[in-house]
Structure 1
Amino acid sequence: MLFIVVGVLLVLLKLLDFGAPAAWPWWAILSPFILAALWWWWSDASGRTKRLEMEKMDDRKEERRRKNLAALGIDYRAHSKQKKQAEKFKAMRKKEVAEVEGKREAQRQKFKDSILHSRLDSSQSTFENTQQPPAEGGKS
């Protein structure tokens, strides 16, 4: 853009016969336009133009996001802080749930053990405990 502005000023000075550019040859007056064309060619070829366009698009997207958060009543600067607090709360809640589940599992195991060791348990019946296996090599 700077090359174009300089070129236009030089052309005006040449046409109005004002100052030093009035005595310059036309190729020197028009050279900023050639430099501008070379600059644009290089900018497109190197990917600079596309990169700047992408950065503008990202800036617009971020600004739109900020406006939407403000419209919802959420301070965009505090949003990341709130997000961290929410993650911290979720981690704390997970820990509490794990503790409660551990207690419940211990209670279930206690009930299971009490049922297995109760009088109604067939593995500890008095019939099995009173029976004596036959002695080896002895009389029956």
Structure 2
Amino acid sequence: MWMLLIALLLTVLRFLEVGPLAQLSWWWLLLPYGLTVAWWGYADASGLTKRRVVEQEEARRQKRIDRQKQALGTQRRR
């Protein structure tokens, strides 16, 4: 996501002709977009995205279970 933010920032700065980016070719600004697409393709193909989603769901599930045990009084206090 940070690569996309950098690409958008560079595009805005180029469009507004700020500093040295005013003379930079638009082709150089397409590079961060290409890298972003490549990263997202890799993350999806390797299962990285799915693993992160599963980890987040598991953490939420465990918090919910711990909260319920605490409410029932069956969990030891730390």
Q: Partner residue of 1:48?
A: 48
With a CA cutoff of 8 Å and minimum separation of 6, indicate the structure with the bigger relative contact order: 2
How many correspondences in the alignment?
Answer: 77
How far, CA to CA, are the matches of 1:24 and 1:74 in structure 2? 64
For 1:44-102, what per-residue CA distance to the aligned partner results, in whole angstroms no more than 9, with x for missing partners?
Answer: 11111111111111111111111111221334xx27xxxxxxxxxxxxxxxxxxxxxxx
Q: Partner residue of 2:18?
A: 18
Confirm or deny: 8 A CA contact 1:7 1:29 kept in the other structure: yes
Q: Partner residue of 1:124?
A: none
Q: Partner residue of 2:61?
A: 61
% identical aligned pairs: 35
SS in 2 for 1:30: helix
What is the CA-CA distance between 1:23 and the residue it aligns to? 1.2
Kindly name which structure, 1 or 2, has the bigger radius of gyration based on alpha carbons: 1
SS in 2 for 1:29: helix
Q: TM-score if structure 1 supplies the norm length?
A: 0.51
How far, CA to CA, are the matches of 2:46 and 2:12 in structure 1? 33
Quote the RMSD (CA, aligned, Å): 1.4
How far, CA to CA, are the matches of 1:27 and 1:72 in structure 2? 61
In the alignment, is residue 9 of structure 1 matched against residue 9 of structure 2? yes
Q: Partner residue of 1:137?
A: none
In the alignment, is residue 71 of structure 1 matched against residue 75 of structure 2? no
Segments of structure 1 that go 5 or more residues without pairing to the other structure are 80-140
What is the CA-CA distance between 1:30 and the residue it aligns to? 2.0
Q: Which runs of 4+ in 1 moved over 3 A?
A: none
